[in-house]
Structures are given as structure tokens and as C-alpha cells.
Structure 1
Amino acid sequence: MGPLVNSSIVDLLRLRKAEQESGIVYRFLATGDVDGETVELTYGDLERQSLAIGTWLQAAGYSNSRALLLYPPGLDFVSSFYGCLAGAVVAVPHHCRV
């Protein structure tokens, strides 16, 4: 990968997905324990999920607005955050207590 000028995080995700689609980009420790259950998200899955969310946000007319993200810890938050970036929506994360 060469120098990236004026690239967004979504652009970087697309590049990485093209190079390593099945590579793990995020791993969540479901129990909080290193030896416990984990849930993984690949570059390909993250790109598909985030672009689907971003496309929906744009089609619904939410571009250039804000979205409050209320998620418990997990990978759904990650996909939604990237989806906001893909849809030109400002993500406003807030910790949701379970």
C-alpha cells in the first residue's frame, strides 16, 4: 500500500478489504476474559455492513446530520460507527449501560 493522500477511513477500509477480505479487523471479548468467548469481524464483513448502513442513512436523507449511537459493548457499534462515516453522518457515541 502506497502513501494515501486525502483518504477517509472508509477509503482505507475498502483498500484493506481488497487486500485482505477475510482478515480479522476487530475481535470482541464477549465475556471480557481473554480466554472466554470471542466474536470477530472481518474486513469484508465490516465493509458490507457499514456500506449497507451508510447507503440506508443517505437514502433516508440523514447525510450531514448527527446520529446518537446507543449500543452496549460489541461489534454492532463498530459497524454502525463506520456506517455513519460511509453515509456522511456525524456519529455521536454514548456508552449504553447494560
Structure 2
Amino acid sequence: MSTYSVHISELAERDLKEIGRYIAEEFLEPTIALKLVDKIGDAALGLEEMPQRNALVADKRLSTLGMRKLLVDNHIIFYDISEKEKTVMVIRILYGRRDWLTLL
């Protein structure tokens, strides 16, 4: 089984930091925030093996671009795969109830 190199965009890194900040400050739950950020980060890095296991995004425009999604609790990791380079690029990490179609 071949493995892929996982890269996280600056925007996705900002998304993850914002998720942690929001939970820590708005809900006053820094421990829960840290656990969730770790869980999402681990899931993203776990895409190094079999990243195709997750479905393409249901939106026609995004699926044509090869955009896939991975659900982690109430959050969605959006990514695409380069088979040629054996890389996974994490594009965004968003709260599932946001209007993410307008953000991608």
C-alpha cells in the first residue's frame, strides 16, 4: 500500500486555530478545544493512507475538481489528492453547519 504526503494549506491551519480559539474562549473549554484540535489534526494526517476512502463532495463543481471531505465530529476536512505526486492537500477545515459552499 502506498502512502501519500499530507500538506495542510495556510487557510486550513488558520481554520484549525480558529476552531480551537472559538471553543476555548466562547465556551470556556480550553481542554475540550485542545482535544478537538488534536483529533482533527490526527484525522487530517491520517489521510496519508487510503485518502480515496472518503467521498467526493456532493457539489458538482467541487467534485469535478476532485474535492473530497472527511467528517470529524461536527467539522469537515476538505481536501484533494494528486495521484501523480502522491500528495494530499488539506484545503479547508470548517464547521459542518457553515455555508461551506460559499467558502470553497
Q: Which of the pair has more CA radius of gyration?
A: 1
TM-score, normalised on structure 2? 0.30
TM-score, normalised on structure 1? 0.31
Structure whose residues are more often helix by fraction: 2
Q: Which has the higher contact order (CA 8 A, sep 6+)?
A: 2
